[in-house]
Structure 1
Amino acid sequence: MEIIKALKRNVEKDYGFKIKKWKVIKNVKNSSLVVQIVTNNGKKYALKNLYLTRARQQFIAKSEQLLADRGVKLASPVLTHNGELLMEYNKNPYVLYQWIDGKSASLRNQEDLEAIVEAMARFHQASKQLQYPDDMKIYGHEHWENEYKERIKTMRKWSKEHKSSDSGNAPLIKKYIGFFQKMAYKALQELQNSRYESYFNSEASAKSLVHGDLHSNNVIDSKNEKVLIDFEDVRYDLPSKDLLRLFSMYSKNHSFQGKTFSGMLEKYEGYHKLSSEIKKLVLIDFMFPHIFERLLRKKKYIGMENKELKHRLKQEKKKAAYVYEKYFSNNQGTGG
């Protein structure tokens, strides 16, 4: 294909090597293109086009570069001959990355969970006070209150639309949705009474980055190290966004236990200590039923086996109940 030939020529020109092998790993139209490149001298790279704006891709690649400079183990972006983080072709930004050999990290037990949490906490800690170019757009998460309200609407809308439905997994969801709506409102109320507004309006340099999609498949076991990959959702936000994602993956195959949850937070704070205000916000976010709402919004429950869905809903309920009872039911804040 002529387009591919032209893209290859651009890569060779901008990075100064000859391509020996070109293997498409992922190709989703207008979403993502990932290619493994092997050069004539045997070096391996990953070429990515995420069909993002130049500003967004610049922020991602610069964040990765700054984090790598601080010792975070990740797939580092490779500079072009002109010292640029991006290569443009056909009006799309491409980034070339070091290829990381290894296997996806496992989540077989609590030890595996805490090993990834340690890598996560080290990354969050290292991301503070990063210095971006003055003209670079800095990306953060939307205001949590707006997010919570929109996700509450999802649950209310689902309840209304499935009021008379008894097919598929609808009866099982109905059994749990009242509890999750209750937790959502409690989390929203706690958020409104917290110091989140002060955090949200603070300078980005005082906050930490989050990966945005930190699950075990985006962590590579390479040379006895945990290496983070795929930072396309990186942004400034609170640590709960990464902790939630990882813990939800762990809970797919494990029953919720308070000691595992507490152990995860303890391991995290061993490498990235949280203030009492920030920890409270993290716990509020764990109380909010993000995973349940996502199942509804993205219709993930359709076609899911009833047994699997029941397990996931049960674990989410146990987690939310544990967080509420331990940290919020008696206005204990983050103590106790």
Structure 2
Amino acid sequence: MGSTARSVKRTDIDEPRLAELIQHHYGLTIESSETIGGIIRLETDQGRYALKRVRPRAEDRWLLIEELGSYTDETDLLYIPRPVRTKRNLLTINGFHSRYVLLDWIEGEPFLIRSKRDWGLAARLLAEIHRASRSIMESSEQVNIPKAIAWSKDWDKMKKQMHLYHTAASWATKTHDMDQLWLRHSPYIEGMIDAALSYLERIGGDEVCRDTLRYSQLCHGSVYARNFLVDEQGYLQLVDWDRLEVDVRSRELASFLQYAYGKTRNAETIPVILAAYQDVSSLTEAEYALIYARSILPDRSIRILNQIYGGQTVPLEQAEIRFRRELNKEEIKEQWLRTYPTQVEEAFGVKIPRLEWLS
């Protein structure tokens, strides 16, 4: 362990005494640092590490990541970087302006998803992760799993929140362009939440969802191309685990399938991804319908509206642009909702209910 902190290249993350912070908590001497994609890459006398901001109220999430990483250490094919504990065995540390977690750095190259085969490889990795999560969650004491899976309750809260945002925009003494845009589209967003709730009830409600907990109980939460890389051994890995969620795999598959369709505009990616996933772990007929139910929910639009009106973390001059972007994605998703039941029936012989107005 080094005993003195050397001079450190300043990063755009405002931690003016970064070297002293890392030395005090980990006994590591920083030789250089660089900000890359929202993290600080640290070159130290003990090797290379990543320092990442911890989101508010995310301590339990990092405990789950640690457990999942411990489990996957037993396999050569799947690696999830665990948080490095401090000298006092703490999981996270307080900086001057943020809270941080230290992770081992994964060496690798970006995985460029360019073909159906690439989408299939990504889907197989996702299935491996979901399968691993089932094993560690059976013994985890970090969360009450059944109570955490309540889609209908969560969606009903979303609906009420959207109604409050609509009321606030309506009553505003001075409305902005964003308010006018939201007021025009709020009936659609609220209507899609209603449609998702009705569809979920039609296929059996939360009980059907909970029945699938035996297959997976954790979702990575950010399965996008930018978070895949090929490590030095040639294995595909997923990074950026700080959006880990306790939920069934149908939620993540819905998100990944929509993402793939948005990138390719090719309905054939649907059976490619689902078939590759099932090379590792089979899906039940109920899960095909749960994927569809989750896809009806306009969750990305809801997220940005929460940021604009709830947390007010989006500057006013950016709000309209960002919401329009999500509305465009909703239009693309509507095309996906039309084709998904057909693709599933033709490829796997599974017939699921459709949204009547999309038939």
TM-score calculated relative to the size of structure 1:
0.73
Deviation track 1:78-97 (CA, whole Å, cap 9, x = no partner) reads 65587957254569875432
How far apart are the structure 1 equivalents of 2:138 and 2:127?
21
Are 1:12 and 1:19, in contact at CA under 8 Å, matched by a contact in 2?
no
* Partner SS for 1:213: coil
| One of 300, 312, 320 as aligned partner of 1:302 | 320
* Partner SS for 1:22: strand
Amino acid paired to 1:7: L
The reply to whether residue 144 of structure 1 matches residue 151 of structure 2 is: yes
Q: Which residue is equivalent to 1:334? A: none
How far apart are the structure 2 equivalents of 1:173 and 1:222?
47
Q: Which residue is equivalent to 1:312? A: 329
Q: Which residue is equivalent to 1:8? A: 22
Q: Which residue is equivalent to 1:254? A: 264
- Count of aligned residue pairs for this structure pair: 317
* Partner SS for 2:42: strand
Q: Which residue is equivalent to 2:6? A: none
Amino acid paired to 1:148: W
The 1:139/1:66 distance shift into structure 2, 3 A limit, reads farther
Q: Which moved more, 1:244-253 or 1:224-233?
A: 244-253
Are 2:109 and 2:229, in contact at CA under 8 Å, matched by a contact in 1?
yes
Compute the RMSD of aligned alpha carbons: 4.2
In the TM superposition, residue 77 of structure 1 has moved relative to its aligned partner by 1.9
Q: Which residue is equivalent to 2:353? A: 328
Q: Which runs of 5+ in 1 are unaligned?
A: 28-33, 332-336
How far apart are the structure 2 equivalents of 1:126 and 1:252?
28
In the TM superposition, residue 283 of structure 1 has moved relative to its aligned partner by 2.3
In the TM superposition, residue 48 of structure 1 has moved relative to its aligned partner by 3.0
How far apart are the structure 1 equivalents of 2:355 and 2:35?
55
How far apart are the structure 2 equivalents of 1:11 and 1:191?
48
Q: Which residue is equivalent to 1:239? A: 249
The reply to whether residue 46 of structure 1 matches residue 46 of structure 2 is: no
How far apart are the structure 2 equivalents of 1:270 and 1:317?
28
* Partner SS for 2:50: strand
Q: Which residue is equivalent to 2:219? A: 210
Amino acid paired to 1:277: A
The 1:82/1:199 distance shift into structure 2, 3 A limit, reads farther
How far apart are the structure 2 equivalents of 1:86 and 1:292?
33
Q: Which moved more, 1:322-331 or 1:53-62?
A: 322-331
In the TM superposition, residue 21 of structure 1 has moved relative to its aligned partner by 2.1
Deviation track 1:141-195 (CA, whole Å, cap 9, x = no partner) reads 45100222233345556666778x9967967995x76666554333312322444
Are 2:260 and 2:269, in contact at CA under 8 Å, matched by a contact in 1?
no
Amino acid paired to 2:43: V
Q: Which residue is equivalent to 1:127? A: 133
How far apart are the structure 2 equivalents of 1:192 and 1:198?
10
The 1:302/1:236 distance shift into structure 2, 3 A limit, reads same
The 1:110/1:315 distance shift into structure 2, 3 A limit, reads farther
The 1:18/1:125 distance shift into structure 2, 3 A limit, reads same
Amino acid paired to 2:134: K
The 1:200/1:70 distance shift into structure 2, 3 A limit, reads farther
Are 1:75 and 1:97, in contact at CA under 8 Å, matched by a contact in 2?
no
* Partner SS for 1:258: coil
How far apart are the structure 2 equivalents of 1:179 and 1:127?
36
In the TM superposition, residue 54 of structure 1 has moved relative to its aligned partner by 4.1
The 1:244/1:71 distance shift into structure 2, 3 A limit, reads farther
In the TM superposition, residue 268 of structure 1 has moved relative to its aligned partner by 1.9
Are 2:131 and 2:216, in contact at CA under 8 Å, matched by a contact in 1?
no
Q: Which moved more, 1:198-207 or 1:18-27?
A: 198-207
The 1:316/1:298 distance shift into structure 2, 3 A limit, reads farther
Flag the structure with higher helix content.
2
Deviation track 1:80-125 (CA, whole Å, cap 9, x = no partner) reads 5879572545698754322122343334444433322221112112
How far apart are the structure 2 equivalents of 1:261 and 1:108?
15
* Partner SS for 1:97: strand
How far apart are the structure 1 equivalents of 2:253 and 2:212?
23
* Partner SS for 1:23: strand
* Partner SS for 2:156: helix
Are 2:66 and 2:82, in contact at CA under 8 Å, matched by a contact in 1?
yes
In the TM superposition, residue 40 of structure 1 has moved relative to its aligned partner by 2.9
Are 1:86 and 1:93, in contact at CA under 8 Å, matched by a contact in 2?
no
| One of 34, 38, 51 as aligned partner of 1:23 | 34
TM-score calculated relative to the size of structure 2:
0.69
Q: Which residue is equivalent to 2:298? A: 289
The reply to whether residue 100 of structure 1 matches residue 106 of structure 2 is: yes
